[in-house]
Chains A and B, each alone.
Chain A
């Protein structure tokens, strides 16, 4: 590849020849040219300056030429004259200037004053405009408020009118209702009177029937005497005839009363003391109430002798003291408690129907007179009659002593009540005063009446039970026992449905059953209860007896 080398050498030669020799020279030359142009520029400027200076110089020279013509003295004089003139002129000018500056100062002062006045006026103006704005705003607000109030007023007026119309309507309705009410009341009193009369008639009829029956029996006995001749029966009959007061009601023939001999079932009712126990009129339910504030309903299976809990009625605020079922089929249960109120539940839906408040102290007893009339007696020494339809107390009877128990005589509201002051009071339905009073030896703790409303069983604190005949209000029997002690104010005693037996619980846990005819203790049931028995109740069929003790145990007694 020698041609490459040749070419390379030729190139190097060429470059050296063409470029290297001249590069430096050209560069320096160019720099010299630049410097030369700069110097040229400066030179032209300086020439211009020189020209202008020369021009000035020539001007000055021209000026001085004109002066240089005169001789020296004259020159001086003329100069002096010129000088004086110039001084005078200067003086006048200065004076003028002084005057002008004075004027300027005064004018500027005036201007300042005017400016200040203007500022203060402007400020006042601003304040006033602000006040104006705020007043306008207030006015607006007031207008709005007033329009708002007007609207409210209108609406209220409209409402008032509407209410007035409604009120007048209601007034009319009320008048109509009052009229119907008065009318119904009249009708009701008439009906009640009719019913009372009918009852009287019935009772008389009943008595007449009995008399007829006795007569019949006498006739039969007369006939029998000739065949049997048992003097004892005659005597018993005679005694019964002589007394003539103890009746066996034939209507009670279907009731088979047995004296229970043994405990069939026992169960714990609740966590606290038991105070009340009651059978449902059908005999399938037992209600217990105690200091747990609830009324427990238990189902009774009579054939098997089992008791099962059914449900619980709550609503009382304090201990339940007494329970009553209504006997007209309305399926209501009444419980009264120490929270001064009586409550009525429906048994079908277990719902609290009514709460009757008004007593001032504990309610000790309450009974259904009818399904819509309730009587209650309380520690506040009053008895109250409540109407369930109006839910109001329709009558208050002032007894003067704590009422421990009461029974209803008839549907019109006649009551018998037993009190702490050893008196039994009989109340009339029509007026508010006692019809008569019966004095006993000790405070009365409970009352029980038989189905025919002729015999009254009173339990009193002197450890006895007294059987009172109601026609003559006379004590005909007294039941007692050595072990029977009444130690509480609310111990309950009951009569059997056919009035053959009386039953009460003692404070040592024994249940005593007396025979009402003989007055002797028929049976003592003990070993089951351990504390004081607060209440007993007899099954409507007469087959069972149920007792509850303070220590929460209830026992079902039977055959």
Chain B
């Protein structure tokens, strides 16, 4: 878990260079309100998997606002940046999930066709769905959300010691190098967060979230090393344990949905790939986490 040299660096570099082509199309409602003779063409962007949609909201809005010059002043139309929301196949997209997670979760499961690229997202400028979505935040809020996720991860891994010892400028540097796509500066500081404390050779607990359709994500306490049986825990163990534990909780709460706890019925997707199920969880947490140090795992039911 700590003895890899070149291979791990290659993997993290490949992870960093991930991009998804996304095609933003204006909704029909809003298309009708355009007061120019030309209708806006779709907007194509290559976005990183590990960033968030609110980082690009200004760019999207600026592109479409040129077609609405006069109408923007008219507040009855409700066309404003605060009313902007994204939708994929009638699912409003949550802004606090990384883009890669959203893509893996929704495209893998909903449609049958295997090719989903470019990912076509519909941009709405009005009729914000208040019930289902919180409004897109500004830059500072998304940064704050990122930092809090990071701290939560460190709390699970090292009881929050390392992130607490880091200075504020290191936190800032993490976020800025994330926005500016600077691999070296990001991993300079992230290495500190991947170190061990308390004379252990592994993290205390693994920070991870398991995403399933139509239910909130699962997050449990899971140690990467079993000291009783002296073996490293694998991805399979982690998913199995989480599903079992969730089912257990559902029983307690008399939940209506019944969870399928058979791991083999799912595709386990992280970063758009399916790692072998016997991969050690400790290694995954160190080198395969998202920049917020969490392992975001999507479980998609297999087609039979």
Q: Do A and B bind each other?
A: yes
Note all chain A residues with C-beta closer than 8 A to B17.
15, 19
In the complex the two chains form, is B38's CB within 8 Å of A40's CB?
yes
Note all chain A residues with C-beta closer than 8 A to B273.
7, 10-11, 13-14
Contact with A along B253-278 (1 / 0, CB 8 A): 00000000000000000011111101
In the complex the two chains form, is B279's CB within 8 Å of A29's CB?
no
Note all chain A residues with C-beta closer than 8 A to B14.
8, 11-12, 15
What is the distance, in angstroms, from A16's C-beta to the closest C-beta of chain B? 10
Note all chain A residues with C-beta closer than 8 A to B201.
none
Task: Please choose the segment from A30-38, A88-96, A263-271, A294-302 that sits at the chain B interface, where 4 or more of its residues have CB less than 8 A away.
Answer: A30-38
User: Does A22 interact with chain B (Cβ within 8 Å)?
Assistant: yes
CA distance A40 to B36 in the complex (A): 11
Contact with A along B15-27 (1 / 0, CB 8 A): 1011111000000
CA distance A3 to B18 in the complex (A): 20
- From 7 to 59 in chain A, residues with beta carbon under 8 angstroms from any chain B beta carbon are 7-8, 10-15, 17-19, 21-23, 25-27, 29-30, 33, 36-37, 40
Task: Please choose the segment from B4-12, B134-142, B185-193, B220-228 that sits at the chain A interface, where 4 or more of its residues have CB less than 8 A away.
Answer: B4-12
Cβ 8 A contact of A26, one of B11, B15, B21, B279: B21
Cβ 8 A contact of B44, one of A5, A17, A26: A26
User: Does A1 interact with chain B (Cβ within 8 Å)?
Assistant: yes
User: Does A100 interact with chain B (Cβ within 8 Å)?
Assistant: no
Cβ 8 A contact of A19, one of B4, B8, B11, B46: B46
CA distance A2 to B38 in the complex (A): 55
In the complex the two chains form, is A22's CB within 8 Å of B275's CB?
no
Note all chain A residues with C-beta closer than 8 A to B8.
4
In the complex the two chains form, is B275's CB within 8 Å of A6's CB?
yes
Q: If A6-B275, A22-B117 touch, does A33 touch B41 (CB 8 Å cutoff)?
A: yes
What is the distance, in angstroms, from B268's C-beta to the closest C-beta of chain A? 12
Q: If A4-B7, A15-B14 touch, does A22 touch B276 (CB 8 Å cutoff)?
A: no
- From 467 to 523 in chain A, residues with beta carbon under 8 angstroms from any chain B beta carbon are none
In the complex the two chains form, is A22's CB within 8 Å of B46's CB?
yes
What is the distance, in angstroms, from B202's C-beta to the closest C-beta of chain A? 17
Note all chain B residues with C-beta closer than 8 A to A36.
41
Cβ 8 A contact of A8, one of B11, B19, B43, B278: B11
What is the distance, in angstroms, from A463's C-beta to the closest C-beta of chain B? 133
Cβ 8 A contact of B272, one of A6, A18, A26, A30: A18
In the complex the two chains form, is A19's CB within 8 Å of B15's CB?
no
In the complex the two chains form, is A7's CB within 8 Å of B276's CB?
yes
What is the distance, in angstroms, from A43's C-beta to the closest C-beta of chain B? 9
In the complex the two chains form, is A6's CB within 8 Å of B276's CB?
yes
User: Does B34 interact with chain A (Cβ within 8 Å)?
Assistant: no
Cβ-closest chain B residue relative to A40: B38
CA distance A19 to B46 in the complex (A): 8
User: Does B290 interact with chain A (Cβ within 8 Å)?
Assistant: no
Cβ 8 A contact of B46, one of A4, A26, A33: A26
In the complex the two chains form, is B271's CB within 8 Å of A18's CB?
no
What is the distance, in angstroms, from A481's C-beta to the closest C-beta of chain B? 134
Cβ-closest chain A residue relative to B63: A33
Note all chain B residues with C-beta closer than 8 A to A13.
273
In the complex the two chains form, is B66's CB within 8 Å of A37's CB?
yes
Q: If A14-B272, A26-B44, A33-B41 touch, does A1 touch B19 (CB 8 Å cutoff)?
A: no
What is the distance, in angstroms, from B19's C-beta to the closest C-beta of chain A? 4
Cβ-closest chain A residue relative to B235: A3
Q: If A7-B276, A11-B15, A18-B117 touch, does A29 touch B44 (CB 8 Å cutoff)?
A: yes
Grouping DSSP codes into helix (H, G, I), strand (E, B) and loop, the A interface class, with mixed when no group exceeds half, is: helix
In the complex the two chains form, is A18's CB within 8 Å of B21's CB?
yes
What is the distance, in angstroms, from B180's C-beta to the closest C-beta of chain A? 18
Contact residues on A (Cβ < 8 Å of other chain), bracket: 20 to 34
In the complex the two chains form, is A15's CB within 8 Å of B276's CB?
no
Note all chain B residues with C-beta closer than 8 A to A37.
66
Note all chain A residues with C-beta closer than 8 A to B279.
3-4, 7
Note all chain A residues with C-beta closer than 8 A to B274.
10
CA distance A332 to B271 in the complex (A): 138
What is the distance, in angstroms, from A469's C-beta to the closest C-beta of chain B? 139
CA distance A25 to B273 in the complex (A): 24
Q: If A15-B14, A18-B117, A40-B38 touch, does A3 touch B19 (CB 8 Å cutoff)?
A: no
Cβ-closest chain A residue relative to B103: A18
User: Does B95 interact with chain A (Cβ within 8 Å)?
Assistant: no
In the complex the two chains form, is B271's CB within 8 Å of A11's CB?
yes
- From 73 to 97 in chain B, residues with beta carbon under 8 angstroms from any chain A beta carbon are none
Q: If A19-B46, A23-B46 touch, does A8 touch B276 (CB 8 Å cutoff)?
A: no
The interface centre, meaning the residue of A1, A23, A27 with most chain B CB atoms within 10 A of its CB, is A1
User: Does B288 interact with chain A (Cβ within 8 Å)?
Assistant: yes
Note all chain B residues with C-beta closer than 8 A to A40.
38
- From 34 to 60 in chain B, residues with beta carbon under 8 angstroms from any chain A beta carbon are 38, 41, 43-46
Q: If A4-B11, A6-B276, A10-B273 touch, does A15 touch B44 (CB 8 Å cutoff)?
A: no
In the complex the two chains form, is B275's CB within 8 Å of A10's CB?
yes
In the complex the two chains form, is B18's CB within 8 Å of A19's CB?
yes
User: Does B129 interact with chain A (Cβ within 8 Å)?
Assistant: no
What is the distance, in angstroms, from B46's C-beta to the closest C-beta of chain A? 5
Cβ-closest chain B residue relative to A37: B66
In the complex the two chains form, is A18's CB within 8 Å of B18's CB?
yes
Note all chain B residues with C-beta closer than 8 A to A33.
41, 43
CA distance A33 to B288 in the complex (A): 37
CA distance A213 to B19 in the complex (A): 172
CA distance A40 to B69 in the complex (A): 15
Note all chain A residues with C-beta closer than 8 A to B117.
17-18, 21-22
User: Does B118 interact with chain A (Cβ within 8 Å)?
Assistant: yes
What is the distance, in angstroms, from A11's C-beta to the closest C-beta of chain B? 5
Cβ-closest chain B residue relative to A30: B44
Cβ-closest chain B residue relative to A29: B44
In the complex the two chains form, is B19's CB within 8 Å of A23's CB?
yes
- From 53 to 70 in chain A, residues with beta carbon under 8 angstroms from any chain B beta carbon are none
Contact with B along A194-226 (1 / 0, CB 8 A): 000000000000000000000000000000000
Note all chain A residues with C-beta closer than 8 A to B271.
11, 14
What is the distance, in angstroms, from A360's C-beta to the closest C-beta of chain B? 113
CA distance A29 to B22 in the complex (A): 12
What is the distance, in angstroms, from A553's C-beta to the closest C-beta of chain B? 113
What is the distance, in angstroms, from A459's C-beta to the closest C-beta of chain B? 128
Cβ-closest chain B residue relative to A27: B46
Q: If A23-B46, A29-B44, A36-B41 touch, does A11 touch B21 (CB 8 Å cutoff)?
A: no
Contact with B along A73-102 (1 / 0, CB 8 A): 000000000000000000000000000000
Note all chain B residues with C-beta closer than 8 A to A21.
117
Cβ 8 A contact of A18, one of B11, B19, B276: B19
In the complex the two chains form, is B278's CB within 8 Å of A26's CB?
no
- Can you list 24 pairs linking A and B with CB atoms under 8 Å apart? A3-B276, A7-B11, A7-B288, A8-B10, A11-B14, A11-B15, A11-B271, A14-B271, A14-B272, A14-B273, A15-B14, A15-B19, A17-B117, A19-B18, A21-B117, A22-B21, A22-B117, A23-B21, A25-B21, A25-B44, A26-B46, A27-B46, A30-B44, A33-B43
Known: A4-B8, A7-B288, A23-B46. 17 other contacts (CB 8 A): A2-B276, A3-B278, A7-B273, A8-B11, A11-B273, A14-B18, A14-B272, A14-B273, A15-B17, A15-B18, A18-B117, A19-B17, A19-B46, A22-B117, A23-B21, A25-B44, A26-B46
B contact residues vs A (CB 8 Å cutoff): 4, 7-8, 10-11, 14-15, 17-21, 38, 41, 43-46, 66, 117-118, 271-276, 278-279, 283, 288
A contact residues vs B (CB 8 Å cutoff): 1-8, 10-15, 17-19, 21-23, 25-27, 29-30, 33, 36-37, 40
